[in-house]
Structure 1
Amino acid sequence: MTLLLLGLLLFLGTHSVSILAPDWRRGWIARHGERPWKGLYSLVSLIGFALLIVGYGWARQSPVVLYTPPTWTRHLALLLMLPVFPLLLAAYLPGRIKATVKHPMLAAVKLWALAHLLANGTLTDVLLFGGFLAWAVADRISVKRHPRGPVPGAPPRPANDLIALGAGLLLYVLFLAGTHAWLIGVSPLA
């Protein structure tokens, strides 16, 4: 559990600097440069992500059950996951989806986390998915109050929405068909 918590702290912590200390971040970049910031940010995020994955895997071996979700919540989770991949792709493929949702990556994270909280009831799941849900909500509030620059991605085109939808739904089907079981060790359809 300690590795999971450390991973969450490092991963979500680095992703929270813009929320909690935007002036400190700007000052650090002004003193040291954008490239060193991106390098350090990426390194700490990657270490946090690795610790998060290993810690989650280890913590799942001795689950502490907090609640047992009813079967219907798994079906609801599958439905909530349907727009997640298209939203993730829309964050980097600007079109009407991105213009309408405004922050499709954060919307995707919120739906992903909520779906997994509905379908899983262990302490490990609540920490992981609850942590990501809380972070995404806080980040969305922060972005509303302090708008940030554009996210790098493809140039805006009408075809981007079709690409995001098509490729996103394909990824969803692949995850259902076996990728989730292969990566995570659990089939969402079981």
Structure 2
Amino acid sequence: MSILILGLLIFLGVHSLRLFADGWRNRQLARLGEWRWKGLYTLVSLIGFALICWGFGLARQHAVLLYVPPLALRHANALFTLVAFVLVAAAYVPRNHLKAKFGHPMLLGVKVWAFGHLLATGMLHDVLLFGAFLLWAVALFIVSRRRDRAAGTVYPAGTLQGDVLVAVIGIAAWAVFALWLHLWLIGVNPMA
């Protein structure tokens, strides 16, 4: 469990610099330059992500049951995850209404994904992983929206074309992940 926790601290820590150390982050960005900063940021993120994956796999071998969710919540999680994939797609597709309204749809997607998985799973390692991501996404969304309001940030207006593209990309990515990749990468068939 310690490797999972270390991975979460590193990965979510580096992704929380805007939350806890925005001034330091800006100074390092100016000192190192954009490309060196992004390279270092990516390297630390990948190390954290690798530790999360390794630690989660190790923790699953010594699972500690905290609660037994009803089977219906496991099936409902497929819907939560579908919504999460659409929200993540909205972060990258230009001129869609989700990005225009919420500004940070990826963080909303992480919240929905984590919440759905907390409802559907009941092991200690699951609660650590998904609970940490949920808390991080809630905090960062609040801070990001506050920063947007203070800066007067306005996101481009959404269009029907942008919305359709978000839906198609999000649903297609969800289907590929749910039907094939989740079992291959995670070892769990979410559709069973």
TM-score (norm 2): 0.90
| 1:82 counterpart SS class | helix
Q: Which residue number in structure 2 is paired with residue 153 of structure 1?
A: none
| 1:146 counterpart SS class | helix
For 1:143 and 1:5, the matched residues in 2 are separated by: 25
Q: Which residue number in structure 1 is paired with residue 169 of structure 2?
A: 167
For 2:127 and 2:146, the matched residues in 1 are separated by: 28
Q: How does 1:16-55 map to 2 (within 5 A)?
A: 16-55=16-55
For 1:5 and 1:19, the matched residues in 2 are separated by: 19
Q: Which residue number in structure 1 is paired with residue 102 of structure 2?
A: 101
Structure 1 alignment gaps of length 5 or more: 151-155
Structure 2 alignment gaps of length 5 or more: none
Q: How does 1:130-145 map to 2 (within 5 A)?
A: 130-145=131-146
Q: Which residue number in structure 1 is paired with residue 64 of structure 2?
A: 64
For 2:57 and 2:162, the matched residues in 1 are separated by: 36
For 2:162 and 2:124, the matched residues in 1 are separated by: 39
| 2:93 counterpart SS class | coil
Q: Which residue number in structure 2 is paired with residue 81 of structure 1?
A: 81
Deviations 1:77-132 (A, max 9, x none): 12212211111111011222211232110010000000110011111000100000
Deviation at 1:175, TM superposition (A): 2.6
Q: 1:20 to 1:149 in 2, by over 3 A?
A: farther
Aligned length: 185
Read off the aligned partner of 1:178 and give its amino acid letter. W
Read off the aligned partner of 1:108 and give its amino acid letter. G
Q: How does 1:113-128 map to 2 (within 5 A)?
A: 113-128=114-129
For 1:28 and 1:171, the matched residues in 2 are separated by: 35
For 1:13 and 1:53, the matched residues in 2 are separated by: 16
Give every structure 1 segment of 4 or more consecutive aligned residues whose post-TM-superposition deviation is greater than 3 Å.
Answer: none
Deviations 1:49-101 (A, max 9, x none): 01111111111111011111111211221221221111111101122221123
Read off the aligned partner of 2:47 and give its amino acid letter. I
CA contact (8 A) 2:64 2:124 kept: yes
Residue 183 (str. 1) matches residue 182 (str. 2):
no
Higher helix share: 2
For 2:93 and 2:69, the matched residues in 1 are separated by: 35
| 2:57 counterpart SS class | helix
For 1:178 and 1:44, the matched residues in 2 are separated by: 29
Read off the aligned partner of 1:122 and give its amino acid letter. M
Q: What is the root-mean-square deviation of aligned Cα atoms in Å? A: 1.8
